Structure 1
């Protein structure tokens, strides 16, 4: 692959999407290169370099999963043993649904936990207190019955790490994973130094209609650091990804874990059907198809930054993009196309497009749906269709297809016709809907139980 051509593509796409700064790293069959573009902050002339650290957002989860795999290799953690047994019976009442959940289910978003929930335990730094608050939350479903993307699940996994190691998550991540392997990871928030500013680039908001770019600080709730609080470079991501290839491809100073243990992060979990996010999920990695091949990967966003990583272990190939702008996800979409045109077909999830007419009156789907702090209201609109309104302010027109999959197209700022841009997809399920990977139960619907 021609490095100069890819550098031109990176610059072109950054300009198109008004991304102030970005890194792109590619490893392919023994050849590695890393490209940088732009500045760390629009108000500063500091250029992006290979040492610049970008917020990983949810890509942080693959590192928490890798940390868990190290405990599996040591015999401290069994992926398929109920976490109640690891934590002790005194921590979870035997009848509580979470008592039967496993670490594999936590890492694959099939433990039945809510996506997020607010309150003092979330803003504090104690994962133990946060865990106690999770036990008071009504679950989305029984463990092992369905996929529902959950930051809370990774906070519980981090608490499990703390119990098994006797270290806090920050110390365990550094001591077990980052330091021995030489990974240059940083924390967006470090509970050991709560007043310190993160050693990262600045995030930026990009207004689609005006093109205005404004700096914004990265922020993550302390108890969700394991789910979205790491930072680093695209090169770090590619080097991490190479640990899942052959021994000859390894780039880290030390192995993370034995290959057969790391493979559990990729092995598909049957209940993990992440509609709208990926083609499947393992105990850490998402699974993305590219023709007949399956790539591993994860995507992340955090307050004005984006991160995408893909790895094809058998093909000895990895790609990572980091940006410091909200428009970085659209840039990634275009990059996947450009790389394909250049001869590299990267695993990528293609959003389903609803077709045909729904098998029933659309009014049937009107109602309130919830997952923790995420609330959605589906209601008839003046045109005889449906509107989709989320508690975070997102809203748009909803179109339902014959298979009950739906598309939500963002509304214009003036409330008129749909604004141009990305459409979001989901689907209606019995007593629930699945949107952006989260399962939201309809008000009054019973929690799905295990068979």
Structure 2
């Protein structure tokens, strides 16, 4: 990981993992192979068949190669109203927003207004965090790579005003410091809100306006919005959840607080998501030739910045905003997004000038993604998507009593318990999100893969999810689950 001067080196805290596949082109292709044609009617059938199998109420699949898009839609935007999903329907893209925020930051780097490795306190001298040393030293690079250690799932509602990010950051000293600065990777929504506040200070605009004027308008993204009153002008999806294995039903709250904007509040069509991906495939150039991002910055965003403690949940490493994936010896970038009952997926294969996105509003969206993208990338790119992780065929004996106990951070409490047939994991959603999820407490068996790596499977999905235990050289113990490092309680 690239570090700012004066930061202690904690890189050895990361558990050893197999080496990732070698990098392909870091940002965009130098030569394009012959494109395999897209059979739109076929992908329409497959989207419909698979979405129904996985009980996804509505979904849009978008495939872009070069300047051409193919978009197909299925289902309904709201099961309570029966409004059908169309190609131009808007969905919340959740944390894919983070790549847009990172792009805004890199524009400021190009302009000489921002140094990735300078303390953000130089821009925000009023910054206060739980650890004053971190407040003095944390950089934009830490924020964009989720290595700041700031408790990441803080969803404080600071109102609907244009000062909501400023007010949110003004209360960040209430958030715990979960790990030392730069010591490990832990997915951090709070850090991206802080990054958005830096963007506001440097541009003199709200994050919403900066996004519109610096990215959406130049790219002609007329169906990309950040506020509910903007989304109401269009055909817009409502999220759905399921309780106790029942059918999907509309969620009671449509959106997270405005203060979470830079971390996950963009609502867009599949076509607009593909247009944003095409900006990066083109090395930072808009379709009309306008340069919105330098070629150097476009490549830097896709370059590896930090290895992940768990390489089975998403990618093997992280760039500046982008998740990096090694599929079948090829290098891809992308991101996922999850909000209240909506899930979105974006994968970009630069060497074939290919981008694929899936927007959904409930059901087993992850399982739909895995099955559908496996087919899309095999058929169109000749690239095999890695098989989902599964328990070993032969049970692995482990001695894991040392992992028993409670692990806790904002929004989540994880208890590792001893059951009659081995270890169990009890996951409790806490804080503001607890009343917005159908089952705030879930308990399941921990299936060992090795002495420090396990798998769990929750009732709402057939997918297995990794759980990794590790410690820093300084002795602090963590469980890495859901891309977050959750510290063990004293």
The reply to whether TM is greater than 0.5 is yes
1:302 corresponds in structure 2 to 339
> More displaced, 311-320 or 396-405?
396-405
> More displaced, 95-104 or 250-259?
250-259
Between the aligned partners of 2:479 and 2:188, the Cα distance in structure 1 is 15
Between the aligned partners of 2:467 and 2:201, the Cα distance in structure 1 is 37
Between the aligned partners of 2:83 and 2:457, the Cα distance in structure 1 is 37
Structure 1 unaligned segments of length 5 or more: list them: 412-418, 445-451
Q: Post-superposition shift, 1:163?
A: 1.3
Matched, 1:335 2:377: no
Equivalent position to 2:263, from 217, 227, 231 = 227
1:129 corresponds in structure 2 to 167
Matched, 1:164 2:210: no
Per the alignment, do residues 222 and 316 of structure 1 end up closer, same or farther by CA in structure 2, a change over 3 Å counting? same
> More displaced, 346-355 or 78-87?
346-355
RMSD: 2.8
Matched, 1:213 2:248: yes
Matched, 1:270 2:306: yes
Contact 1:36-1:48 within 8 A present in 2 as well: yes
Deviations 1:306-332 (A, max 9, x none): 110011122211101111223222211
1:448 corresponds in structure 2 to none
**Alignment length, in residue pairs?**
432
Q: Post-superposition shift, 1:114?
A: 1.2
The 3-state SS of whatever aligns with 1:68 is helix
1:236 corresponds in structure 2 to 272
Q: Post-superposition shift, 1:406?
A: 0.9
Between the aligned partners of 1:39 and 1:236, the Cα distance in structure 2 is 20
1:415 corresponds in structure 2 to none
1:421 corresponds in structure 2 to 462
Between the aligned partners of 2:150 and 2:342, the Cα distance in structure 1 is 26
The 3-state SS of whatever aligns with 1:38 is strand
The equivalences for 1:54-133 within 5 A come to 54-88=91-125, 90-92=126-128, 95-119=132-156, 121=158, 126-133=164-171
> More displaced, 402-411 or 165-174?
402-411
1:434 corresponds in structure 2 to 480
Matched, 1:323 2:360: yes
Between the aligned partners of 1:365 and 1:9, the Cα distance in structure 2 is 43
> More displaced, 180-189 or 10-19?
180-189
Between the aligned partners of 1:39 and 1:388, the Cα distance in structure 2 is 34
Matched, 1:365 2:403: yes
Contact 2:157-2:257 within 8 A present in 1 as well: no
Deviations 1:258-305 (A, max 9, x none): 121122221111355454232111111101111111101001111221
Between the aligned partners of 1:420 and 1:81, the Cα distance in structure 2 is 43
> More displaced, 264-273 or 277-286?
264-273
Report the TM-score, using the length of structure 2 for normalisation: 0.80
Between the aligned partners of 1:224 and 1:404, the Cα distance in structure 2 is 33
Q: Post-superposition shift, 1:367?
A: 0.6
Q: Post-superposition shift, 1:75?
A: 1.2
Per the alignment, do residues 359 and 434 of structure 1 end up closer, same or farther by CA in structure 2, a change over 3 Å counting? same
